[in-house]
Chain A
Amino acid sequence: MPAEPIIRFDSVTKSFGALAAVDGISFAAVAGETIALLGPSGCGKTTTLRLIAGFEDPDRGTIEIAGESMIGKRPYERNVGLLFQHYALFPHMTVAENIAYGLRHRHWPKAEIATRTTEMLRLVQLDGFGPRRPQQLSGGQQQRVALARVLATKPRLVLLDEPLSALDAKLREELRLELKQILAATGSTTIVVTHDQDEAMGLADRIIVMNRGRIEQQGAPAEIYAKPASRFVASFMGRSNWLDGTAKATHRGPFANVVLDNGLILNIANPGLADDTPVSLGIRPERITLGQPADEDRVTGANQFGGQILGVTDMGAETHYRVTSPAGPLTVVRPNSGEHRFTAGEPVRLGFCAEDCLVFPHPAAPR
């Protein structure tokens, strides 16, 4: 039996003037699940969040939390928690007063508020920080106080608005793990809004990729990365080498061809498009294998050709190569795990599988 969804969006639309910020989107989250709304700025993810929180009301569609319609409900009647991008800790209150704020408005007895506040401070590992002011804390500590304030009221749903964007890169990774742990420990149903794919992949069980107010694709992080549903998703999640061409021989079973604009023929998995459709073909840089020209064992895949190393950038854990090839210049990423490292000017052999070619109708062509 499928679990009762904690939150359900059904063809929700919200426009500002002529612009539809959210355009008929539907999704649901079950208890304990963490969902990421991922997309570039202006894709509608923040509006979606504000609709859930109750700062905006939808023009059309229904929003339900635990089976109860939220239309017309004020933010303080919804019992959802929201972690603000810059935390919005009240600067004129102490850390403890901040955490207790929501409890006071739920008319908890004083003693219980004190107990709960201490408990929350322990949960985020800030025991004894209660009497301090938010301004006296580091960015990471402020974030944890904000999280404690959100979780103190045991909200039915936790919303995170770009939770890690205000922190620097090193701290971000640390806090991402901690955040995930705390959310799991409290069993919170969570919706994360972010434009950062690492944040989405690191926190979420399921990712919803949004673009121009619509949902482009939803699914598990690995699935979205490996099988993007559109060229937009493919280019927003990770990097790819993009080549333009035309689909050919699409009626002949599991495989087909793409004839690149320069005449080179590549083997691809059959994309189910009509012959002669202009297409964009993407190959992930880490899916291309490299070897010395004679090295036919190491280089795998249905597409193989010779090339030459143009430039090498050593990134520590991996090496980025720029390689000339008959298909045009390609970026190739190889892990630094004892493989032979090439130098600029060296002739090489490249290869990639037909299944690794991500083929989409060319964005300029009619679908």
Chain B
Amino acid sequence: MDSKRRPNPLFLPAAGLFLLLFVLPMAGLVVESLRTYVPGRIGSAEGAPFTAANYAELVKPSFAVFFFQTLRLSLAAALVGVFCALPLAHWTARKLSPRWRTLAIGFFVTLMFLSVLVRTYALELTFGAVGPLGPALRAIGISTNSRGYIEILVAAGLLHYIIPMSTLTLLATFQNVDPRLTDAAQVLGAPAWKAHLTITLPLCIRGILAAFLFGFTFSISAFVIPMILGKGRVLFISNLIYTRFSEIANYPSGAAISVVLFVLAMLLVYVMTHLVNKRWAQ
């Protein structure tokens, strides 16, 4: 039919919303990031001169440290998350009866859906300084106020989401690997762990990589978790954008950081879709 060749105009309402609420704001963000900042003024002046200074200052150590911190903790959380999720997903996929598996999947899905506020509050309440575990932690010599502990707490916040998410991703992956392959490897003389290392893992590498990249992308754009659990001492890029806006109203600088974070996230998504889908798509 001829009507198949041209789009129906009904997609226009959504396109209009996207233009107004997404495309124009994002374009405005880029423009704002190039404006000169006038201290004491909210937002850049109309027609303020263009400058690259907002980007240039990001390489200064005082800024770079936030980027470094975000990347370091995100990388650690994503790696640990996938490492923890591997045995958990395998156990759920292979060792549980259908009834228990449905329950386990329900548990992971619930954890994934859990409000980020509830998650951070529960972790703070349980492992934070004022929580009921506080005295116990102090008793074994862990200072709940040390920088190291706060970093671990932030990572734990990220992991509380990453682990269920990675488990579900890997669960789907494991379910697509024929269990007879590892059986065959064991009949051929490989111990179970070697069979998994040489058969299951290579076959699941796409799923593992996808889970890792997903966890990493989630972490670098995390906002609430470092905001609450970081107690102002561990800040992520997202938090930096917010403080630029809320504390000193330096919009151009906030916009520049936003653009950098946006590019970083897009880069990761690009790698995720292209590397994972194409290189390993046999």
Contacts and interface: CB of A to CB of B under 8 A. Distances in A.
Give yes or no for direct A-B contact (beta carbon below 8 Å): yes
The majority secondary structure among interface residues of chain A is loop
Contacts of B46: none
Interface in A58-109: 72, 74
A57 interface: yes
A274 to B, nearest CB: 49
Interface residues of B, number: 2
A55 interface: yes
B6 to A, nearest CB: 14
Nearest to A55: B1
A55 B2 CA distance: 10
Chain A interface residue count: which class?
under 10
Interface string B204-236: 000000000000000000000000000000000
Contacts of A54: 1
A54 B2 CA distance: 11
Contacts of B1: 54-57, 74
Interface string B1-45: 110000000000000000000000000000000000000000000
A55 B1 CA distance: 7
A57 B4 CA distance: 11
Contacts of A72: 2
Contacts of A55: 1
B71 to A, nearest CB: 45
Nearest to A57: B1
Contacts of A74: 1
A247 to B, nearest CB: 48
Interface in A296-350: none
Contacts of B2: 57, 72
A74 B2 CA distance: 10
Interface in B109-160: none
A119 B124 CA distance: 71
B1 to A, nearest CB: 6
A57 B5 CA distance: 12
A55 B3 CA distance: 11
7 contacts: A54-B1, A55-B1, A56-B1, A57-B1, A57-B2, A72-B2, A74-B1
